[in-house]
Amino acid sequence: MPDNLPVIGFAAYSGTGKTSLLEKLIPVLRQKGVRVALIKHAHHDFDIDTPGKDSYRLRVAGAVQVLIASSQRSALMTENRQQQEPRLEDLLTRLDSKQTHLILVEGFRHVPFPKIELHRQGLERPWLHTDDDSIIAVASDQPVDTGTLLPLLDLNNADEIADFIVEYCELMTKHG
């Protein structure tokens, strides 16, 4: 991991609410003084640029990378010409570790790194932690008996999840 920054992922099936949780969790972590970077895996073709804008036109024209920057933000668009799934290890190296304390990852469920399993009872999906030793906690929308010794968190309580992440990262930093 870059500069020994803690990396925590969220493992869940589609429709569980990973993005919704992250929208609530990131401001809570920020209030605690934690600067967060995020990597999100997409399973499909996507655009973050608007058709017709200069950066979009230049990318479509054939530029392999387009870096657009202003005084407020920058974004790097890279075309993956080989059409293979991105590797988390490669994406982590693209982040500026001087600007962050913690990297959160949405997706990459099958990659072994510390993750919190998100579970919604109503989806009736199987547990992930039973087959993934890298899951460090389970967050569910209802009290459940998972048969595990992993910490159980309330999926609807961003403060509780943020506290767990901060505590886990402090332990990880101290004990490497």
When computed from its CA atoms, the radius of gyration of the chain, rounded to whole angstroms, is 18
The pLDDT of residue 175 is 43
Specify the higher pLDDT residue, 16 or 46: 16
Highest mean pLDDT among 11-15, 38-42, 55-59, 72-76: 11-15
DSSP 156: T
Q: What is the pLDDT of residues 109-129, one digit of tens each?
A: 999 999 999 999 989 999 999
With tokens 């901060």, the residue in question is: 166
pTM: 0.86
Mean pLDDT is lowest, of 22-26, 46-50, 106-110, 144-148, for 46-50
- Direct distance between the N- and C-terminal alpha carbons of the chain, in angstroms, rounded to an integer: 12
Q: What is the pLDDT of residues 18-31, one digit of tens each?
A: 999 999 999 999 99
CA quadruple 110, 116, 117, 120: dihedral, nearest 10? -140
Maximum distance among all Cα pairs of the chain, rounded to whole angstroms: 54
The pLDDT of residue 72 is 87
The SS3 call for residue 77 is: strand
Q: Report phi then psi at 152, rounded to 5.
A: -105, 125
The pLDDT of residue 66 is 81
DSSP 87: P
Angle between helices 158-175 and 18-31 (to 10 degrees): 70
Q: Does residue 93 carry a pLDDT above 80?
A: yes
The pLDDT of residue 171 is 62
Q: Does residue 36 carry a pLDDT above 80?
A: yes
Domains of the chain: 2-41+86-175 (3.40.50.300), 48-84 (no CATH)
